[in-house]
Chain A
Amino acid sequence: MLWKESYEIGVPLIDAQHKELFRRVELFLQVLRSEVCWDEKVQKVNETLEFMKGYVVEHFRDEEEYQQSIGYPGYEAHKQLHTGMVEYVLEFSKKYEQSNNDEQLIQQFGGKLLAWLINHVAAEDQRIADYAKKKG
């Protein structure tokens, strides 16, 4: 399982969204890495990509609202990380569509998404939790 309890930041809404994000990414990776031929998995992969585009934006918005509510000093820098990832996903999505669903491209996307998500939640988001704890 991709999700680890140590990733929790102690905010129920954000933790629930993180868990859902990890669950979806895990399902995405299972489909992406399955042995079946590309034609069989392309529809499922595309559905997940569409979901991610919407869900990531919704989650980032909620997380940023929380950061503002507690006066998190790293808000601007964190927002930039979110913006960068959303831009990457949208840019990738366009390139992928133009390539007529090229498998190599989506494999590259999967690798980056996995590493980015783990680092973001395990490192960047934990700073929010540390600040909230210190603030009390």
Chain B
Amino acid sequence: MKDILYKAFFDATQNAFKLMLNILEVSDHPAGDFKCDDEVDIAIGVTGDLQGKVIYRYPVSTSLNIVNIMSGMQFDAVDAFVTSAVSEIANIISGNVLTALSENDMNCDILPPEQCKLDDDKKYDINTSCHIRTAIGEICLEIRLNRA
């Protein structure tokens, strides 16, 4: 299940970057290589057959690059607009993953995106990280889910 989820989130992220940003260079790397001190963390809660959350860790530079490409404007700092835009991308990716999972009889729903902190003491059946590098920066997805 861990591998299926990892691949589903990577594929959905790759697809979103291709269709929304025209970024074709997207690859995954060992999670330990992801180092970032200044990031925007967005949690998408998951309910249903799987329960928990997926945290999208966007470094500030990646967040700004994403919004600059989408808007054709220059954003120099993370604000409510930028946070909301990258939150919606997290929402879109997660929604597409759950649609793909539903085709394999795994039925889940997602909760609206929320800005969050990484700290979490809970134990999860599935706890994996997907470190993704793209031509406009890195992101890391922390997948933390329990089977219902």
Chain A residues within CB distance 8 Å of chain B: 1-2, 26, 29-30, 32-33, 104, 107-112, 114-116, 118-119, 122-123, 126
CA distance A109 to B70 in the complex (A): 15
Which residues of B are in contact with A by a Cβ distance under 8 Å? 15-16, 19-20, 67, 70-73, 79-89, 92
CA distance A40 to B73 in the complex (A): 20
Residue contact B72 to A111, C-beta cutoff 8 Å: no
Q: For A2, A111, A118, which residue has the most chain B Cβ atoms within 10 angstroms?
A: A111
Count of A-B residue pairs with CB < 8 Å? 66
Interface of A is mostly: helix
Given B15, B70, B84, which contacts A118 in the complex, CB threshold below 8 Å? B70
Q: How far is the CB of B140 from chain A (nearest CB, A)?
A: 19
- A107-B80, A108-B81, A122-B20 known; A115+B89 contact, CB < 8 A: yes
* B89 surroundings in chain A (CB, below 8 A): 115, 119
Q: Across the interface, do A109 and B72 meet the contact criterion of CB distance under 8 Å?
A: no
Residue of A nearest to B84 (CB): A111
Question: Could you jot down 22 A-B contacts, CB within 8 Å?
Answer: A26-B72, A30-B73, A32-B81, A33-B73, A107-B81, A107-B84, A108-B84, A110-B81, A111-B67, A111-B82, A111-B86, A114-B70, A114-B85, A115-B20, A115-B84, A115-B85, A115-B88, A116-B88, A116-B92, A118-B20, A119-B20, A123-B16
Q: Which residues of B contact A119 (CB under 8 A)?
A: 16, 19-20, 88-89, 92
> Of A1, A32, A33, A123, which is within 8 A of B19 by CB?
A123
User: Which residue of B is nearest A103, CB measured?
Assistant: B80
Q: Are A1 and B88 in contact (CB under 8 A)?
A: no
Q: Bound complex: CA of A126 vs CA of B88, how far in Å?
A: 19
CA distance in complex: A47, B86 (Å): 26
Please indicate the chain A residues that have their CB under 8 angstroms from the CB of B79 in the complex: 107
Chain B nearest CB, measured from A117 CB (Å): 9
Residues of A contacting B72 in the complex (Cβ-Cβ under 8 angstroms): 1-2, 26
